[in-house]
Amino acid sequence: MALITKKIKGTEDVLPKQSYRWQFVEEIMREEATSYGFREMRTPVFEHTELFARGVGQTTDVVQKEMYTFETKGGESVTLRPEGTAGAARAVLEHALENEGLPIKASYFVSCYRYEKPQAGRLREFHQFGIEEYGTQSPIADAELLCLAQSVLDRLGLEDIRLEINSIGCPECRAKYNEALREYYSQYKEQLCPTCLTRLEKNPMRLLDCKSPEDHKLAEGAPKITDFLCEECETHFAEVRKYLDAAGVEYIVNPSIVRGLDYYTKTVFEFITDSIGAQGAVCAGGRYDGLIEELGGKHMPSLGFAMGIERVLMVMDAQGVEIPQPEPCSLYIAAMGDGAKIKAFKLLKEVREMGINAETDVVGRGLRAQMKYADKIGALYSMVIGDNELAENKATVKNMDTGEQTELALDDSFVGEFSDLLLSNSENIGDIKEIAGALTDFLGQLTAKE
């Protein structure tokens, strides 16, 4: 029978055998965010379209070409989020989070949606780890943000990742820069793509971000924003670099970085690798001091970054970074007969309450098939319970790797004795302290019950 449908082009499934990779990466990201004082925020996957049109920018490729926008049954225009910042900013405003004190520090994991040509490192549904900070204009915050991103990449074991930074100034110095860009590009109008011809008048900086090879070559000779920075923006950028130098964070100043979204001001940056081809940016962000005002709030300088999870995993694979395998099943109990199944079920619940991974048959296999399955899932120990074991109230636990066998009583002492067995073969388990702590808690609960 043919499948009714398959996954949509540009989307990917994360299967059970792959999910541990995502969990490993996400856990490191959460830990680093927490260590820098950021707490998780969760926002809706779709918003009113105007939020992205105003926040991201009408002249960006994202708004003009890539958004998934549709009309609801109530006649509202809504859009699947193409990025995480606009929704986070809306939540900050709507819930008046500034009343809880500044700065507001939030992290998130989001799925994003952009209608573009699927290719390696660029999907129509993709996932990001994001950091948002609202209510600070200090260059220390910029440097701290970059340190956080660097810490995540370092802990993930990534190498040959270069940090490129730039300042694109404030609206005042950008106005002068835009005039210089118009003057430069006006002599090449015949060579510009139709999209860039429109941008030339509305938003000249977008020309620097064009993906057309011809326009990209023209951008190499364009004026540099760093030559047009006002004194305040130049000082801010110098201070950011000073703090990065103090922290030992290596970087390259790249005047060509402008970012693809209109809300950016002053500091912009990208962490780039050559390990995965053209789609080499694994993390990008910067300041967006005017975004909150653009969305209807009072002036609240802000900054943040987004790190592509699919991209990070691609780089880890390309560089041969090993991700720890999930803990295998510690105990598989093969049960034969109704009484044995009930006994096995009771023992498994007690073992699992200690945080130990344990399994039994739930599909009706015979004994031989159960043992084959235990071997297939890599169980560390197996145990058979049948009529004889029930009658004697004891069973033999077998080390699946060495074949060594240990007899354990099937009573209240089983959990403790099996835990001791695991601890005595600690090379087979992921975290001794966690199991020992769980055992202590469990024995404490038994004592309390008595």
DSSP secondary structure letters along 387-430: HHHHHHTEEEEEETTT--EEEEESSTTHHHHHHHHHHHTGGGSS
Give the whole-angstrom CA distance, residue 29 versus residue 158: 14
Q: Yes or no: is domain 331-443 CATH 3.40.50.800? A: yes
Give the pLDDT confidence score for residue 277 in this predicted structure. 83
Give the pLDDT confidence score for residue 361 in this predicted structure. 97
Handedness of CA 367, 371, 373, 377 (dihedral sign): positive
pLDDT tens for each residue of 189-199: 888 888 888 88
pLDDT category, 161, cuts 50, 70, 90? very high
Find tokens 């001794």 and name the residue. Answer: 432
Give the pLDDT confidence score for residue 428 in this predicted structure. 46
Token readout for 175 is: 């106005």
Helix residue ranges per DSSP H, 256-337: 291-294, 309-318
Least confident of 127-141, 177-191, 199-213, 239-253: 199-213
Find tokens 């319970």 and name the residue. Answer: 385
pLDDT tens for each residue of 30-48: 999 999 999 999 999 999 9
Largest distance between two CA atoms of the chain:
95
Domain spans, the chain:
19-170+230-318, 331-443
Give the pLDDT confidence score for residue 210 in this predicted structure. 77
Answer yes or no: is pLDDT of 261 > 80: no
Answer yes or no: is pLDDT of 207 > 90: no
Give the pLDDT confidence score for residue 182 in this predicted structure. 93
Give the pLDDT confidence score for residue 162 in this predicted structure. 97
Give the whole-angstrom CA distance, residue 359 versus residue 309: 31
Give the whole-angstrom CA distance, residue 15 versus residue 313: 15
C-alpha pair distances (Å), 297 with each of 93, 134, 173, 289: 7, 12, 23, 12
Judge residue 300's burial from the number of C-beta atoms within 10 Å of its C-beta, 0-12 exposed, 13-18 middle, 19 or more buried. Answer: buried
Average pLDDT over residues 384-403: 97
Q: Under a CB-based contact definition with an 8 Å cutoff, are residues 39 and 185 in contact? A: no
Answer yes or no: is pLDDT of 187 > 50: yes
Q: Between helices 414-424 and 432-449, what is the axis angle to 10°?
A: 160
Token readout for 163 is: 């940090």
pLDDT category, 56, cuts 50, 70, 90? confident
Question: Which among 172, 143, 144, 180 is positioned nearest to 233, based on CA atoms?
Answer: 172
Predicted TM-score of the model (pTM): 0.89
Token readout for 237 is: 């950028």
Give the whole-angstrom CA distance, residue 375 versus residue 368: 11
Q: Which CATH superfamily is domain 19-170+230-318 in?
A: Bira Bifunctional Protein; Domain 2 (3.30.930.10)
Token readout for 264 is: 């950016």
Answer yes or no: is pLDDT of 217 > 90: no
pLDDT category, 259, cuts 50, 70, 90? confident
Tell me how crowded residue 408 is: count the other CB atoms within 10 A of its CB: 19
Answer yes or no: is pLDDT of 437 > 80: no
Answer yes or no: is pLDDT of 434 > 90: no
pLDDT tens for each residue of 103-135: 999 999 999 999 988 887 789 999 999 999 999
Least confident of 250-264, 309-323, 389-403: 250-264
The residues, any chain, with a CB within 8 Å of residue 375's CB and separated by 6 or more, are: 400
Tell me how crowded residue 85 is: count the other CB atoms within 10 A of its CB: 28
Beta bridge partners of 287: 265, 303
- CA 178 to centroid of chain Cα atoms: 35
Q: Under a CB-based contact definition with an 8 Å cutoff, are residues 10 and 46 in contact? A: no
Average pLDDT over residues 421-429: 73
C-alpha pair distances (Å), 91 with each of 86, 134, 179, 401: 9, 12, 35, 53
Give the pLDDT confidence score for residue 98 in this predicted structure. 97
Question: Which among 430, 439, 401 is positioned nearest to 328, based on CA atoms?
Answer: 430
The residues, any chain, with a CB within 8 Å of residue 101's CB and separated by 6 or more, are: none
Find tokens 């598989």 and name the residue. Answer: 332
Give the pLDDT confidence score for residue 417 in this predicted structure. 95
pLDDT category, 449, cuts 50, 70, 90? low
C-alpha pair distances (Å), 33 with each of 130, 146, 181, 240, 293: 9, 12, 38, 20, 26
Helix residue ranges per DSSP H, 80-230: 85-94, 139-155, 171-186, 194-202, 213-219
pLDDT tens for each residue of 311-361: 999 999 999 999 999 999 999 999 999 999 999 999 999 999 999 999 999
pLDDT tens for each residue of 58-104: 767 788 889 999 999 999 999 999 999 999 999 999 999 999 999 99
Question: Which among 57, 83, 109, 95 is positioned nearest to 291, based on CA atoms?
Answer: 57
Query: What percentage of the chain reaches a pLDDT higher than 90?
Result: 78
Element (H, E) at 267: strand 265-272
Give the whole-angstrom CA distance, residue 200 versus residue 186: 8
| Sequence letter at residue 345 | F
Q: Under a CB-based contact definition with an 8 Å cutoff, are residues 81 and 113 in contact? A: yes
Answer yes or no: is pLDDT of 375 > 90: yes
Give the pLDDT confidence score for residue 264 in this predicted structure. 87
Give the whole-angstrom CA distance, residue 42 versus residue 97: 14
Give the pLDDT confidence score for residue 429 in this predicted structure. 47
